[in-house]
């Protein structure tokens, strides 16, 4: 599934034409004003290459929605940086092109690593022009049996 996601993002990028690229998983959705808010932030800051909002975690089995905000990590040599899921990610076109090229080396070694982890690890260490906004603009469906949570401990030790 992780490589299928990465391949789908690559193929979609090649077909896209816009300057600002939003990602959205099939079981998530944007709140009504997300696109307008994000486009305005990119217009105001021409150096901005990447932006994330905070998701509203939706647990369909419990019909529960939870708003969480990421805390900033100051020391990450011993652990992964915090990041939000794929559907909260927005890229300036030239940066996403560069990122896709630079993370493709890891396909064989890290085939279970999903795009959001690959992308944000790269962004955290190599990109200075990114922003995490406090707004909750994405509803993220939390699948407790999905790959991300099901294999979390295994991924942490192997990656």
- pTM tops 0.95, yes or no: no
Q: Take residue 70 and report the two structure tokens written for it.
A: 């990421």
User: How far are the Cα atoms of 20, 46, 61, 143 from residue 16, in angstroms, in the given order?
Assistant: 10, 20, 34, 28
Give the confidence band of 5 by pLDDT, cuts at 50, 70, 90. Answer: confident
Positive/negative CA dihedral, 154, 127, 2, 35 = positive
Contact status, residue 110 vs residue 118, Cβ threshold 8 Å: yes
Model confidence pLDDT, tens digit, residues 68-114: 887 665 555 555 667 889 999 999 999 999 999 988 766 566 666 78
Q: What percent of the chain has pLDDT over 70?
A: 76
Segment 7-20, tens digit of pLDDT: 899 999 999 999 99
| pLDDT tens-place string over residues 140-156 | 998 766 555 555 555 54
**Based on the number of CB atoms within 10 Å of its own CB, is 39 exposed (0-12), middle (13-18) or buried (19 or more)?**
middle
Whether residue 157 is predicted with pLDDT greater than 50 in this model: the reply is no
Is the pLDDT at 135 greater than 90? The verdict is yes
Cα separation, 122 vs 85, in Å, equals 15
What mean pLDDT is reported for the chain?
84
């Amino acid at each position: 599934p992780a490589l299928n996601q990465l391949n789908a993002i690559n193929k979609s990028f090649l077909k896209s034409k816009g300057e600002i690229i939003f990602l959205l998983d099939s079981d998530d959705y944007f709140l009504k004003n997300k696109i307008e808010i994000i486009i305005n932030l990119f217009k105001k800051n021409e150096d901005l290459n990447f932006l994330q909002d905070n998701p509203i975690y939706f647990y369909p089995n419990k019909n529960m929605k939870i708003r969480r905000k990421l805390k900033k990590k100051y020391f990450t040599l011993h652990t992964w940086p915090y990041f939000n899921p794929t559907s909260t990610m927005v890229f300036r076109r030239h940066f996403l092109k560069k990122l896709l090229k630079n993370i493709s080396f890891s396909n064989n070694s890290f085939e279970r690593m999903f795009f959001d982890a690959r992308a944000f690890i790269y962004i955290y260490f190599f990109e200075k022009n990114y922003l995490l906004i406090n707004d909750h603009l994405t509803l993220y469906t939390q699948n407790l049996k999905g790959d991300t949570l099901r294999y979390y401990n295994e991924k942490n030790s192997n990656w």
